Chains A and B, each alone.
Chain A
Amino acid sequence: GAVVSQHPSWVICKSGTSVKIECRSLDFQATTMFWYRQFPKQSLMLMATSNEGSKATYEQGVEKDKFLINHASLTLSTLTVTSAHPEDSSFYICSAIDRGRADTQYFGPGTRLTVL
């Protein structure tokens, strides 16, 4: 149980285009999901908290107009990187809270984004 999927697992796009990443909780409902970014050999950096049916809460320094988050259902949150640039290339990871398991966050497998 407590499986989170993420799609796509990797994506390459041209500079200036937009990319959408999906995060789904497969076997539980997630009112709260999170989006992280991870640079090589570093820990996870929280970008934003996604709450179902409401606006996302962004961490300081994260551009909300660049990283659009939509949490339209209890099992799906999406992150759209708009007008992507090479500096947006990174590994993006989502997680979802399972309230039935002591508020534990379960993580998706991550998406590697490369912007050319």
Chain B
Amino acid sequence: AQTVTQSQPEMSVQEAETVTLSCTYDTSESDYYLFWYKQPPSRQMILVIRQEAYKQQNATENRFSVNFQKAAKSFSLKISDSQLGDAAMYFCAFHAYNTDKLIFGTGTRLQVFP
């Protein structure tokens, strides 16, 4: 069975600082996708960043980047220059190529302080 673990229920960061959210996963599949989604208070799930497992280069989207360590099955999200609008619940998610189902972690609530 595939699992996704987010060991940090809550994190906080000062505005303009950098924060890293952790995510580990367990799978026997070799081909898969990994995602980070953000859920602000509006509860709209927003795609933050996507990584394909066959790509060794870490994905980057503006202030958001990942540290993808395939051998360690680790997929952390780094948010640089944190902004108040980054405050949200962040979910790490996985799906193998042979299935469309997303496996979600339990989420990390990020607070951003001015």
Contact = CB atoms under 8 A, between A and B. Distances in A.
Interface of A: 2, 32, 34, 38, 42-44, 46, 49, 91, 93, 95, 97, 102-107, 109-110
Given A34-B101, A109-B42, 13 more contacts: A32-B100, A43-B106, A43-B107, A49-B100, A49-B101, A95-B45, A95-B102, A102-B52, A105-B35, A105-B102, A106-B47, A107-B44, A109-B43
Contacts, number: 49
Contact of A110 (B35, B44, B100, B104): B44
Given A44-B104, A46-B101, A97-B100, A103 B95 contact: yes
A95 B52 CA distance: 20
B78 interface: no
A97 B73 CA distance: 24
B51 to A, nearest CB: 10
Contacts of A49: 100-101
Contacts of A91: 43
Contacts of B95: 103
Given A43-B91, A43-B104, A43-B107, A104 B50 contact: yes
